[in-house]
Amino acid sequence: MLRSLLPALSLVLVLLAIAWLNPRAISYFGFSLMLNLAIPIALATIAQMFVIAGNELDLSIGTFVGFVGCVTATWLKDAPLIGVLILLGSIGVYALLGALIHLRNLPSIVVTLGMSFVWQGLAILVLPKPGGKAPDWLLSLMAFKPPLVPFPIIAALLIAAVVHFGLMRTSYGVILRGSGGNAAALERAGWSLLRTKIVLFALAGLFGVLSGMALIGITTSADANIGNGYTLLSIAGVILGGGEFVGGRVSPIGAVLGALTLALAASPLLTFMHIPPDWQVAANGAILIIVLAARVLISRRER
């Protein structure tokens, strides 16, 4: 019980710490600012979660987000049709990777590590120097200011609700999670494991594309390295959100909460704590270790 509450609990803890250090941050404007980058992180975390649900790991999601960002800031603005085709095609590549990993029984870590260099190279080809510009509709979407509740919070709720319904409540979502839980049993019941793997990877590709677009909508221009940190952030987000590396145990709501926690802990909290920027990355890692250790301790006691 406590264990399923842990993702929410760690988010509340980080929020309390921020409120104590800087009460003014807890406001409409404060949240809009602090959670600015939470949407792309949440989307990338969801992408990673789909891959982890099938007992695989995607080490290329970061550079993929970067590649999508570069396409968004160039082709999607200048020639929308080609841009859309490229993005759809990249989702197709993800689906093919799933098929390749299943058919050839390859370790996904190796395949996606290789792909991360491919995406990085393509991103540099598309946009050799930082620049480009996000399409106007995307800019206005990400700048949307709803009344009362800041946009990032609404977006996070929406993402969590949609993915939770799709993966946790629909009947095919059960099959997708089952493929991570006991693939042999699924096959004996007549389900295609090739199909589940393709679907999981295609969903990862789809949410990777959404993440890259959201990111460019916020930053307004792109850089080939813009998403590099997302690979590890997304994995940490899934695990922080109660997911496990094997066994098909994942939680979309938890993953989004994990992403929000990471986004807040990443810089707002540390800035308020007056930790110099040089030390922020290390402090970030320390926070991750503490939260993950707490998770292990709690789940061990509940066993």
Please give the DSSP secondary-structure letter assigned to residue 23: G
Q: Does 274 bind other proteins (CB under 8 A)?
A: no
Residue 43 makes CB contacts below 8 A (sequence gap 6+) with: 159, 207, 208, 210, 211, 214
We find the least distance from the C-beta atom of residue 109 to other proteins, in angstroms, to be: 17
Describe the crossing of helices 252-266 and 277-302 by its angle, rounded to 10 degrees: 150
- With a CB cutoff of 8 Å and minimum separation 6, the contacts of 14 are 261, 264, 265, 269
**Is the Cβ of residue 181 or residue 229 nearer to other proteins in the bound state?**
181
Min separation Cβ 130 and other proteins, Å:
43
In the window 160-199, what residues touch other proteins (CB under 8 A)?
Answer: 169, 171-172, 174-175, 177-178, 180-182, 184-191
**164 Cβ contact partners less than 8 Å away, ≥ 6 residues apart:** 252, 253
Tokens of 257: 């909460």
Tell me the two tokens of residue 20. Answer: 């104590």
Among 141, 249, 283, 294, binds other proteins (CB under 8 A): 249
- Indicate the residue among 180 and 217 with the shorter CB distance to other proteins: 180
CB 163 → other proteins: shortest distance, Å? Answer: 17
Cβ proximity to other proteins: between 175 and 218 the closer is 175
What is the nearest approach in angstroms of other proteins to the Cβ of residue 182? 4
Query: Which chain residues interact with other proteins by CB under 8 A?
Result: 169, 171-172, 174-175, 177-178, 180-182, 184-191, 247-249
